[in-house]
Chain A
Amino acid sequence: MTTMLSTQALGVERSGRQVLKDVSFETEQGEVHALLGGNGAGKSTTLLTFLGFLTPASGSAQVRGREVGKDVSAARQAIAYLPEAATLYGHLNAYENLLYFLTLAGTDTNRPALDAAMDQVALQAEARQARMQTYSKGMRQKVAIALAILREAPILLLDEPTSGLDPAAIDDFNRLVRDLAEGGRTILLVTHDVYGACHVADRIHLLQRGELVGAFDRPSGMDRIDTEAVHAAFATHAAT
């Protein structure tokens, strides 16, 4: 197995405040890991650190075994990032948006590939030519997910990817994430959704006030992590 993402005693400060403390974990190729925690727990900060947008105050963050700060562009090349509430460009349609970002990333593509990705995220064909300013939040999220798929990057960082999606779309999305992982992609997603995380992740890291306070693995032979246990731990830590 290849370690794709790892942190060692990672500490990050933002505006003079410590937002991550002594965080250590590793994600192997083909695994789906979820960072679960309340608001301000440091979940998105962890993703931004892997992207090189934030610099560790202590410890380190590595992408494919290389320190992020030493080669930010290599890290970003390996990662497809789906930010929270991705809006993309309202004046462009779905095709134009995808082409724009893929061109910037240096990823070759074509119309059938774009359609295939949008089929995967179940974006209606008739909506694809419309400008994204007319899209609902869920539709925009689907285009952003399609972009993450099309990037063909070995690592996907997804920040609240199911926010705004309807239950059916969430189920589709979870299946898609599993398919991608089985295809060899490494996925680290950030979520508030305990139920969704338990269904899609191989491992859940519970973050509270910047510290890892627990980890839950998918038991061998099971199709999901024990939701009750995670819920209980989440509720306990959220209450303290």
Chain B
Amino acid sequence: MMGQLLTIARAEWQLWLRSRLALCALLVFALLLAATSVATALRMSKEAHDRAHQQAAAEETFLSQPDRHPHRMVHYGHYVFRVPPPLSMIDPGVDSVTGQSMFLEGHKQNTAMFADARASAELGGFENLTSALAYQLFLPLLLIAIGHGLIIREREENTLAPLLAQGVTGMALHAAKWMALAGASLALLLPLAVLCAIAVGQGAAPLASLGIIGLHALHLLVWCSLILLVSSVARSRSLALGVLALCWLASALIVPRIAVESASSAIPVPGKIETDLNMQAELRAVGDGHNANAPAFRQLKANLLAQYDVTRVEDLPVNFRGVVAQSAEADLTQVMNKHAEERMALEAGQAKFAASFGWLSPAVAVSAGSRALAGTDLATHHRFLREAEAVRFDFVQGLNRVHAQQLAYSDDINRSSDMEAERRTRLSAENWQVLDRFDFQPAAANDRLARAGAPAAMLFAWLVMLTAIGAWAARRVQP
């Protein structure tokens, strides 16, 4: 039985290797893959290097600031950069559309922006043609080109009857043809495996890399089963090709578009500006931390005076303005985080809703899983936003703490009118060490595998369903 399967599969390979159409298609795909792989790998490698360099430069710039008032450092701010993970050379995911850097400063949560003009200039261009897309969208086209005639060709060329007459069952014929196409698909995954090996060499998690290869293999096997099924039930090669082209169009272009539009309609997400406007009223209630006499801080003042058993803020052992800045920042951050979390929850809901269209399109499933495994999905971007916010809050509060503990209240309030007081409010640059080093890393491989679980399950369900229907069709193969 296995001998029969291998014989038929080998003959199919022989046909492809001797067919100009198959060789041309293979050559075109190889060129496409080589071009996209090299271009994506070079681009992401340069991005990673540039952003790591910019991150180090930003930290050095912050730490090398001269002695000055700590609140000036709060507003001087700091930059953080999301360095793309090694597997982004295969699938850059949302990297080019979400922004990769952020300016951190007191009292504000800024939107992520693009690290440089080049990244934004590339938006919507051919930069989108990545090796992941080559595998997810174009490789199925190649498989259709070489595989649409798997069974129907035997019928059209009158070789099916002699084949079956040799004792080959319909099931064996289907299995052998599937093996031939699956073998070709897996061979075409070799460049992906090489890219993954390079990524592992650059620090990517081997488990996630294997996951990417496995997920793409599963996706291609789904296409192998679909192509075989259509080739088995179609009445002519041209019909099989037409039906498969329609399936590709639906899976690769139409359903993903519908998924995005439906997710936007089903779960509307307010933009950053709209969110900021909604937030303003709540932020006003918190009070302006620059004005220690604002009504919002009366209770804080009373509590402090009572705590230290004094009657004037000038007599407090801490700088009241610094304490107000700390308190206001904490309250502001709570409000901002609440809105940010709400917005991220909606965005995550949208992404989940769109990803559920993987039940209708294998391309949607594989792209969602691939981004998750590469560490370039929306969840990773959200983690970047949260980690950036944590850095922002820590360094701002660190400076506020310095403000409260090391700066005399009297100098603070007189620094505009008293040059000597102003000089004393310039604290040592050593205090800027409150800044934590920002080193964004993708989630652990296990977490990424877990996030890719649902898309992988969708692809597996596709494979099982198509294989079951294929088995049904195989039993009915007649010359």
B277 at the interface (CB under 8 A from A): no
Within 8 A of A (CB), among B11-40: 11, 14-15, 18-19
B163 touches A91 (CB 8 A): no
B159 at the interface (CB under 8 A from A): yes
Q: Which of B50-58, B125-133, B164-172 contacts A (4 or more CB under 8 A)?
A: B164-172
A81 at the interface (CB under 8 A from B): yes
Neighbour of B167 across the interface among A73, A88, A89, A91, CB < 8 A: A73
A195 at the interface (CB under 8 A from B): no
Interfacial chain A residues near B163, Cβ < 8 Å = 101, 104
Neighbour of B166 across the interface among A76, A85, A96, A131, CB < 8 A: A76
Within 8 A of B (CB), among A96-127: 96, 100-101, 103-106
A105 touches B166 (CB 8 A): yes
Interfacial chain B residues near A25, Cβ < 8 Å = none
Q: What is the CB-to-nearest-CB distance from B259 to chain A, in angstroms, rounded to a whole number?
A: 41
Neighbour of B162 across the interface among A77, A88, A96, A103, CB < 8 A: A88
Neighbour of B7 across the interface among A48, A53, A88, A100, CB < 8 A: A100
Contact with A along B209-242 (1 / 0, CB 8 A): 0000000000000000000000000000000000
A230 at the interface (CB under 8 A from B): no
B271 at the interface (CB under 8 A from A): no
Interfacial chain B residues near A170, Cβ < 8 Å = none
Within 8 A of B (CB), among A108-167: 131, 144, 147
A76 touches B167 (CB 8 A): yes
Neighbour of B15 across the interface among A87, A91, A101, CB < 8 A: A91
Interfacial chain B residues near A88, Cβ < 8 Å = 159, 162
B417 at the interface (CB under 8 A from A): no
Query: What are 19 A-B pairs at a CB distance below 8 A?
Result: A51-B164, A73-B167, A76-B166, A81-B165, A82-B162, A83-B161, A83-B162, A87-B158, A88-B162, A89-B159, A91-B14, A91-B15, A91-B18, A100-B7, A103-B3, A103-B7, A104-B8, A104-B163, A105-B166
Interfacial chain B residues near A83, Cβ < 8 Å = 158, 161-162, 165, 479
A176 at the interface (CB under 8 A from B): no
A-B pairs with CB below 8 Å: how many? 69
B11 touches A53 (CB 8 A): no
Q: Which residue of B lies closest to A151 (CB)?
A: B166
In the assembly, what is the distance between CA of A106 and CA of B168, in Å?
A: 10
B157 at the interface (CB under 8 A from A): yes
A9 at the interface (CB under 8 A from B): no
Interfacial chain A residues near B11, Cβ < 8 Å = 89, 92, 100
Q: Which residue of B lies closest to A147 (CB)?
A: B162
13 additional A-B pairs beyond A51-B161, A86-B158, beta carbons within 8 Å, are A53-B164, A53-B479, A73-B169, A76-B164, A76-B166, A81-B165, A85-B158, A88-B159, A88-B162, A89-B15, A90-B157, A92-B11, A104-B7
Within 8 A of B (CB), among A22-76: 48, 51, 53, 73, 76
B165 touches A87 (CB 8 A): no
Residue of A82, A83, A104, A147 with highest tally of chain B CB at under 10 A: A104
Q: Chain B binding site: helix, strand, loop or mixed by DSSP? A: helix
A79 at the interface (CB under 8 A from B): yes
Interfacial chain A residues near B18, Cβ < 8 Å = 91, 131
- Give the size of the chain A interface in residues (CB under 8 angstroms): 30
B14 touches A104 (CB 8 A): no
Interfacial chain B residues near A92, Cβ < 8 Å = 11, 14
In the assembly, what is the distance between CA of A103 and CA of B1, in Å?
A: 11
Interfacial chain B residues near A147, Cβ < 8 Å = 162
Contact status of A53 and B166, CB under 8 A, knowing A91-B14, A91-B18, A104-B8: no
Contact status of A104 and B166, CB under 8 A, knowing A81-B161, A89-B159: yes
B158 touches A76 (CB 8 A): no
A91 touches B158 (CB 8 A): no
B159 touches A106 (CB 8 A): no
Q: What is the CB-to-nearest-CB distance from A88 to chain B, in angstroms, rounded to a whole number?
A: 6
Interfacial chain B residues near A101, Cβ < 8 Å = 162-163, 166
B61 at the interface (CB under 8 A from A): no
Interfacial chain A residues near B162, Cβ < 8 Å = 81-83, 86, 88, 101, 144, 147
B478 at the interface (CB under 8 A from A): yes
B4 at the interface (CB under 8 A from A): yes
Contact status of A79 and B158, CB under 8 A, knowing A91-B14, A91-B18, A103-B3: no
Interfacial chain B residues near A90, Cβ < 8 Å = 157
Q: Which residue of A lies closest to B17 (CB)?
A: A91
Q: What is the CB-to-nearest-CB distance from A193 to chain B, in angstroms, rounded to a whole number?
A: 20
Q: What is the CB-to-nearest-CB distance from A66 to chain B, in angstroms, rounded to a whole number?
A: 15
Interfacial chain B residues near A100, Cβ < 8 Å = 7, 11
Interfacial chain A residues near B14, Cβ < 8 Å = 91-92, 96
Q: What is the CB-to-nearest-CB distance from B477 to chain A, in angstroms, rounded to a whole number?
A: 10
Interfacial chain B residues near A86, Cβ < 8 Å = 158, 162
